[in-house]
Chains A and B, each alone.
Chain A
Amino acid sequence: MTQPPGTTTLSGNAIRRIILEQSKRANVGHIGSGLSVADIVAALYGGVLNLPALDHPDRDRFVMSKGHAVLALYAALHLRGWLTAERLATYCGEGSILGVHPEHALPGIDFSSGSLGQGLSIGAGVALAARLKGSSRRAFVLLSDAECNEGSLWEAIMFSAHHRLANLIAIVDLNGQQALGYTENVMSLTPLAERWRAFRWDVHEVDGHDAAGMAGTIARLDTRSGAPHVLVAKTVFGKGVSFMERQIKWHYWPMSDDEFRQAIADVARAG
C-alpha cells in the first residue's frame, strides 16, 4: 500500500458491523474481544502493514496472538477484498477454515494461533529472520492484556529486547478484562507499560480506538535499529455496543435477536 503515514483506509466500525453480523449468524461469542481490537486491526490493515500481496515474501507479517479476536481480522481481510463474502459467511460453519481462532491455511493468516503466550516468540523469530536476510519486513504481534499472564510471553519480551529487534512491533489490547473477570482482580498487570519499559522495550501508550493516531505512532517508529516497540493500546472491551462495553459476560456470550438489533443500531449510530 502507498497509504500516507498516519492515515487508515479501513473503518473500525465497518469491522464491528461484520463482527456482529457473523457472530449472530453463527450464534457464537468472543464478540467483545473482537470489538475491542477493531480499531487496531483497522489501523494495521488500513495502511500500516506493507502488504503488496498476501503471498509477497517481503510483506510485513502479522501474528494475531490473541487468536480469539480473529473475526476482526477476517472482517478486515474481507473489506480489503482478500476474503469473499461467501467465504466469510462460512465463519464457524461445518468444514470451514474460518474458525474462532485463525488457521494459516486461510490466505491472509500468516500464523495459526489460539494458545496465548506463543505469538510474540514467533514474531521475534520473524523479526530476527528479516534482520539476518537483510529484509525490510517487520513483524506485528497483537496481544491481549491477559496474555501477559503467560510466563512464556516474558521470555519473548526478554529475548526481543536482548537482540534489539527494532523491526518487531507488539500491540497490547489493554481492555482490562479476561475470560472470568477484570485483570486487576485476576492477576494485576499494573503498571503494564512500566513493566515493558523495565524490560527495555520502546513503549508507547496510545488510544486503542484512534486508528489514525496509532498509524501515525507506528509510522514514526525506528524499525531499523534500537529496541523493539510496543503500543500499549488502551481500549474498551465491547467497544461500540453500549450494553457490551466493560461487561465480562460478552467474552463468551452470543447475542439474542433483540441484542443484535440494538448492537447494530449502536454501531450504525457511531458511523
Chain B
Amino acid sequence: MRKAFTRTLVELAEADPRIMLLTGDLGYLALEPFSDRFPDRFLNAGVAEQNMVGVATGLAEAGFIPFVYSIVTFASLRPYEFIRNGPVLHQLPVRVVGVGGGFEYGPQGTTHHGLEDLAVMRVQPGMTVIATADHRQHASALRATWDLPGPVYYRIGKDDTTEVPGLDGRFRLGRAELVRAGRDVCLVATGSVAAEAAAAAEMLGERGVDAGFVVVACLQPPPTDDIAAALGNVPAALTVEAHYAAGGLGSLVAEVVAERGIRCRLRRCAVLTTPDGVSGSQRFMHQAHGLTREALVETALEVLGAARR
C-alpha cells in the first residue's frame, strides 16, 4: 500500500497544489516519487513527530492539505495530543498516515507493532479513520477522502501485491464493503489482515459453512447500517483485526450489535495478550494471536457451534 499511497498522492498533487507531504524521517524507497516530483512540497521534518503534526496544523490553517507520514506507532501515539489539540480541535485537513499496522514490522519488535492506532483515533470526534485491506482499496480510499475538510487517519500496509479477492478496490466513506454474503457466519475484517479473513471465508465454504465476508475499511464515520445489515441474519460473526481487542473494529461491531439489539454471537479475533517481548515475522505473529486463515476457520467453527447450541 505504500507504493499505492505515494503513486496516488502524486496523481492528486499534480492536480492540487495544496497537497504537501511531511515525513518523520521514514519512507526510504517509498516516498521518492513524491519528493522527486514535488521537492518544494515535501519536507523531512526529522525524528520529531510532535513538531511535525504541529507544523502541519499551521500549514493546514493557511490552506494547505498536509500529509504527515511515519510508522503507525510514531504517527499516531507519539504526537497524539498534538493531533487532538491541533487538527481535531480546529477541524483542519491534516492527514496522519501510519504505515505498517498490526505486525507488519514483525521482527522489529514491540515498539514497532501498531496495535492501538485505530482505537485512539476512533475516539477523536470528527476524525475520519481508514484502514484499507489492500493497495487497490487504499488508492480508492485516498481518492475519496484526500480533500475532506476535517482530519483523516490512514493506516496503510507495506504490501503492494496482495489483493483481497472480490473487493476490487471498492471503498465508500462511511460504508462497509460486502465481499460475499453468507447465512452461517460473517467475517468482518479491517486492514491488511483482511486477506486472511477472506481466505478463511473461502475455506469455510469448502467445509460446508456458508460464510459471509465484509471489509470495514472506514471505521469512522462508522458504517453502522452496513454492519447491522451484515450481522442481522447470521447466528455468529467474527471480527478480524491486527490490533488490540479493545477499541478497534471488534469494539465498533460490538457497539452496533448491542445498540441495535442484533441476535448474533460475536467473537473478536484480535490481540488479547500483554506484550511479552516475543516477536517474529508477520506470519509468526498472526499465528501466535490466532489471526491466520487456518486459526480463523477453527474459531469460526467453534463460535458457530456455540451459537447453535
* Contacts from A to B (Cβ < 8 Å): 61, 104, 110-115, 117-130, 132-133, 135, 139, 152, 155-156, 158-159, 162
Contacts and interface: CB of A to CB of B under 8 A. Distances in A.
Interface in B48-72: 48, 50-51, 53-64
Contact of B58 (A112, A115, A121, A162): A121
A125 B89 contact: no
15 contacts: A104-B90, A115-B85, A118-B54, A118-B86, A120-B54, A124-B51, A124-B58, A129-B58, A129-B63, A129-B64, A132-B40, A133-B63, A135-B62, A152-B54, A155-B46
B62 A122 contact: no
B58 A123 contact: yes
Contacts, number: 92
B62 A133 contact: yes
Contact of A159 (B40, B55, B57, B59): B55
B45 A128 contact: no
Contacts of A158: 46, 48
Contacts of B82: 118, 121, 152
B51 A159 contact: yes
A129 B90 contact: no
B81 interface: yes
Contacts of A124: 51, 54-55, 58
Contacts of B81: 115, 118
A152 B51 CA distance: 6
A125 B85 contact: no
Interface in B3-57: 40, 45-46, 48, 50-51, 53-57
Contacts of A155: 46, 48, 50-51
A120 B82 CA distance: 12
A110 B92 CA distance: 13
A121 B61 contact: no
Interface in B77-108: 81-82, 85-86, 89-90
Contacts of A139: 58
Contacts of A118: 50, 54, 81-82, 85-86
Considering residues B40, B50, B55, B89, which has the most beta carbons from chain A within 10 angstroms of its beta carbon?
B55
Nearest to A117: B50
Contact of A122 (B48, B63, B86): B86
Contact of B46 (A61, A110, A159): A159
A62 to B, nearest CB: 12
A107 to B, nearest CB: 14
A188 B175 CA distance: 53
A111 B51 contact: no
A113 B53 CA distance: 15
Contacts of B45: 159
A126 B55 CA distance: 7
A162 B55 CA distance: 13
Contacts of A115: 81, 85
A128 to B, nearest CB: 6
Given A156-B51, A159-B48, 16 more contacts: A61-B61, A111-B57, A112-B85, A114-B85, A118-B50, A121-B82, A122-B58, A122-B61, A125-B54, A127-B58, A128-B58, A129-B63, A133-B62, A139-B58, A158-B46, A159-B45
Contacts of B56: 125
B102 to A, nearest CB: 28
Contacts of B57: 111, 121-122, 125
